[in-house]
Every structure is written in structure tokens, then in C-alpha cells.
């Protein structure tokens, strides 16, 4: 029995700082996805909304919010929260409903109206919230963690700030060709080097912004797709939403300490590597079969880490892969053909869904100037705070 589901429609609201509510962005993306699928809102049997948060608490009941904005029509509704992995959790929930026979066609929506500047905790004391603790006890903002990751790569693998800058150069070139991206201007390595230091060694152009935006998918059973005359749709073949395993020996957001490995020894692979491994195992493919990847480049250094975690190269060889041009458009395994967070910024509940939108356009051969030749298999990867894995494999 196949566990594939079809991607009938994709839609996005452009990223930026628009000054309006998240429901408006999500509704626009949903309508675009419905139009792309050739369906009406009344044809949808279920809607899954990816929630956003502010300071560790769910801020909005996204599924019902989008259903109301589109017009009550009796569809099943689900809301999910998994920080930056919320979009992948929403895709997983939609796929489960389809495979269980609860709905033939499901609308997945995520959107955000992010605060200005870097994320910070909401007011009040919450000593049982690790996200609150890392801000209050350490002053460990997101850029602080990104800087620590970058320093780790420099110390362990010999990466340099110049390597990090090349990630921004690559992604900005792709984002310049994406009409949904917030930043559509190529950036040079010199411009990265001239930008302000935020968390040494990372500069402002090494770190993603916070943005408003929305993304949506229309997913269906393969039988429903055939009835609609779609004989060869893009298919979601795997969704990985795994959690870490003990011991966790690499510091990760939002934790402020690692586990001791004195008794058990270090794990076979890190949490991030296990996310992709689970997706590959479910899909029955390996990294050598990928045509492209969309990864969560919260910082330029973190994109390099994903190359290794996805198995695109051996440990410590990410910078070499980048310098060779292998991950650029036209390279052996293009990464972040959308432009990535470098070009979009974070609209947290929407981003993992937006990654699947990009895979779908690529696998349909509909990505325009960003098109990867003969694209057949793509993977997404990110992770959410509190141990949420996120990886989706799509095939054509």
C-alpha cells in the first residue's frame, strides 16, 4: 500500500513587512493554492492550520481562523504547533487524515505577522519554559546561538567567515529570481563583510530577518487526483517529525546544556542528522538520489551544517561543497533554490510549507529562472524548538 499523497495545489503570499494580520496572508495563500488545484473551498474536506507563538505560548488557533476567513463550510479542522517545524507537522497531519480515509482532499495553511527585529520573549516570568530561561538566564538570543554554531564549525572543521558569506551570495542570487521573496537583490561577499557584526563571527547579512508571509498546499489522495485528471502529480513520499534521542551532545535551541555521555557514549548521529535519516528510510531513497534540497538557513553557517546532516557530503566537507559550486543553481545538488530564509526571512508557521511549495514548482518544471534541470526528487529540512524534527521528501 502506497503512503504517497498528491500535491494538487500550492500557493503563497509574498514575504515582507506588510503591517496586516496573519489571517490575511494565509487566506491569500490558501486561495492561490485552491486556484492552482482547480478546486473551490467548498470542495475541501479538512483544513490544517500551522500555529504561531509568541514567547512560548500558542498565539492563534490557526486552523479555525483560516476556516472562518475562507467562510464556514463544515470542514474538519486541525491546528498544530511545533515552532519552526509547524508546517511539516501540518503536512503530516493532513497526510494522515488522507491515508486514514477521513478526507480525500486537505488544505494546509501557515502564515505569520512577525514582530520587528529578532525574536524575544513575551513579558512575565515562566521559569518552567526553556525558551524563557535561555533568554533570561543567558541572554541567549537566536543570533547568539547562531554565532555559537558558527564558532563551532570554525573550531572543528576550519570553516571561515568568508565561507559563510558565500552562502548568502548563493541564496541571494536565487532569491532575486523568486517573486515571493522579500529580498530580491543579489548580494556580494564584500557587502556581507561590510555589514554590522551581530553575533561574532556572524554579520547582519549572515542572519535571516523576521517577516510576514503565508504559504498553503492542497493535498489529496492519489485516487482523488486521478479523478480530477491529474495522472502524474507531485507526491509527498515521506514526512519526518522525529524527536531527539538521549544523549544529546550538541547544544541546540532552546536548551542551555547538553546531556552527559559519560555512561552511554555519544549517539550514532546528532538530532539534525536523524531528521533526514528518518525521511530517507521512509521514502526508500538516499541522498545520492536528490535533485535539490530546501533547508532552514537561519544563518549562513547553519546551512553548511545541513549539507552534512542531509548526507550531501561527509562531515566537515560542507564548505568545500559550497566552494565548488555544487549547491548553487546549476550545481550537482542545488540547495535553497527559493533563496532560502536569506531571501525570505522567517514567517515561522509558513516556512516549512513554503519549502514544499518550492519543491513542487521545481518538480513540475515550473520554477522559471530558478529551475533545476530534470528535477525528480527533493527534500526539505528544518527543526523546531523543543525537539521538533521537520523533513519532507517529494517526488515526481
Q: Cite the DSSP H helix spans in the chain.
A: 22-37, 62-70, 86-99, 130-138, 142-157, 161-175, 189-194, 222-227, 271-283, 300-309, 318-323, 340-344, 348-363
Q: Do residues 261 and 228 share a domain?
A: no
Query: For the chain, how are helix, strand and coil distributed in percent, rounded to 5?
Result: 40, 20, 40
33: CATH: 3.40.47.10
Q: Do residues 224 and 311 share a domain?
A: no
Q: Is residue 123 part of a domain?
A: no
160: Cβ–Cβ under 8 A, 6 or more apart, which residues?
A: 154, 319
Q: Do residues 245 and 108 share a domain?
A: no
Q: Do residues 40 and 157 share a domain?
A: no
Q: Do residues 171 and 92 share a domain?
A: no
Between 300-309 and 161-175, two packed helices, what is the crossing angle to 10 degrees? 90
Q: Do residues 303 and 245 share a domain?
A: yes
Are 12 and 231 spatial neighbours (Cβ–Cβ below 8 Å)?
no
In the chain, how long is the greatest CA-to-CA distance?
Answer: 58
Q: Is residue 38 part of a domain?
A: yes
pLDDT score at 55 = 45
Q: Do residues 337 and 270 share a domain?
A: yes
- Among candidate residues 244, 277, 281, the one with its CA nearest the CA of residue 386: 244
Q: Is residue 122 part of a domain?
A: no
Looking up cell 491546528 gives: 79
Residue 41 half-sphere exposure toward CB, CA atoms < 13 A = 17
Q: Is residue 56 part of a domain?
A: yes
Q: Do residues 92 and 174 share a domain?
A: no
pLDDT score at 63 = 93
Q: Do residues 241 and 231 share a domain?
A: no
Q: Do residues 188 and 70 share a domain?
A: no
Strand bridging mode 5-16 / 234-240: antiparallel
Q: Do residues 55 and 92 share a domain?
A: yes
Q: Do residues 222 and 352 share a domain?
A: no
Looking up cell 514544499 gives: 356
Looking up cell 511545533 gives: 82
Q: Is residue 24 part of a domain?
A: yes
Domain of residue 96, residue span: 5-117+213-235
pLDDT score at 136 = 86
Structural domains of the chain, count: 2
pLDDT score at 53 = 67
Q: What is the pLDDT along the chain (396 residues), one digit of tens a residue?
A: 689 999 999 999 999 999 998 999 999 999 999 999 999 999 999 999 999 765 444 556 789 999 999 999 999 999 999 989 999 999 999 999 999 999 999 999 999 998 888 887 767 888 888 888 888 888 888 999 999 999 999 999 999 999 999 999 999 999 999 999 999 999 999 999 999 999 999 999 999 999 999 999 999 999 999 999 999 999 999 999 999 999 988 888 888 888 888 888 888 889 999 999 999 999 999 999 999 999 999 999 999 999 999 999 999 999 999 999 999 999 999 999 999 999 999 999 999 999 999 999 999 999 999 999 999 999 999 999 889 999 999 999
Q: Is residue 248 part of a domain?
A: yes
**Cα 371 off chain centre by:** 19
Q: Is residue 153 part of a domain?
A: yes
Q: Is residue 124 part of a domain?
A: no
Strand bridging mode 57-58 / 377-384: unpaired
pTM of the model: 0.96
C-alpha cell at 265: 557514549
pLDDT score at 256 = 84
Amino acid at each position: 500500500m502506497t503512503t504517497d499523497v498528491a500535491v494538487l495545489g500550492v500557493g503563497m503570499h509574498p514575504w515582507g513587512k506588510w503591517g496586516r494580520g496573519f489571517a490575511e496572508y494565509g487566506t491569500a495563500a490558501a486561495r492561490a493554492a485552491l486556484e492552482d488545484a482547480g478546486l473551490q473551498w467548498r470542495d475541501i474536506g479538512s483544513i490544517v492550520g500551522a500555529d504561531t507563538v509568541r514567547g512560548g505560548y500558542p498565539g492563534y488557533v490557526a486552523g479555525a481562523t483560516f476556516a472562518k476567513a475562507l467562510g464556514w463550510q463544515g470542514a474538519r479542522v486541525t491546528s498544530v504547533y511545533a515552532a519552526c517545524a509547524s508546517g511539516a507537522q501540518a503536512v503530516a497531519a493532513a497526510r494522515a487524515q488522507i491515508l486514514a480515509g477521513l478526507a480525500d482532499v486537505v488544505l494546509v495553511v501557515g502564515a505569520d505577522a512577525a514582530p520587528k527585529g529578532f525574536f524575544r520573549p513575551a513579558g512575565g516570568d515562566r521559569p518552567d519554559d526553556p525558551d524563557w530561561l535561555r533568554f533570561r538566564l543567558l541572554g541567549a538570543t537566536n543570533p547568539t546561538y547562531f554565532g555559537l554554531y558558527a564558532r563551532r564549525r570554525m573550531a572543528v572543521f576550519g570553516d571561515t567567515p568568508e565561507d559563510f558569506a558565500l552562502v548568502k551570495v548563493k541564496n541571494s542570487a536565487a532569491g532575486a529570481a523568486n517573486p515571493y521573496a522579500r529580498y530580491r537583490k543579489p548580494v556580494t561577499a564584500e557587502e556581507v563583510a561590510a555589514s554590522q557584526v551581530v553575533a561574532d563571527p556572524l554579520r547582519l547579512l549572515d542572519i535571516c530577518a523576521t517577516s510576514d508571509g503565508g504559504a498553503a498546499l492542497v493535498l489529496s489522495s492519489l485516487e482523488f487526483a486521478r479523478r480530477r485528471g491529474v495522472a502524474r502529480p507531485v507526491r509527498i513520499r515521506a514526512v519526518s517529525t522525529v524527536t531527539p534521542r538521549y544523549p544529546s551532545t550538541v547544544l541546540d535551541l532552546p536548551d542551555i546544556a547538553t546531556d552527559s555521555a559519560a555512561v552511554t557514549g555519544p549517539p550514532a548521529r546528532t538530532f539534525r542528522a536523524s531528521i533526514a535519516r528518518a525521511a530517507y528510510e521512509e521514502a526508500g531513497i538516499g541522498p545520492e538520489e536528490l535533485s535539490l534540497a530546501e533547508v532552514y538557513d537561519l544563518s549562513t553557517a547553519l546551512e553548511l551544517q545541513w549539507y552534512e546532516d542531509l548526507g550531501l557530503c561527509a562531515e566537515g566537507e560542507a564548505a568545500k561543497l559550497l566552494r565548488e559550486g555544487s549547491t548553487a543553481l546549476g550545481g550537482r545538488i542545488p540547495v535553497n533554490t527559493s533563496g532560502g530564509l536569506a531571501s525570505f526571512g522567517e514567517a515561522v508557521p509558513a516556512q516549512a510549507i513554503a519549502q514544499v511549495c518550492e519543491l513542487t514548482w521545481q518538480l513540475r518544471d515550473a520554477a522559471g529562472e530558478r529551475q533545476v534541470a530534470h528535477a525528480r526528487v527533493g527534500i526539505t529540512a528544518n527543526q523546531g524548538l523543543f525537539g521538533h524534527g521537520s523533513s519532507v521528501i517529494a517526488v515526481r
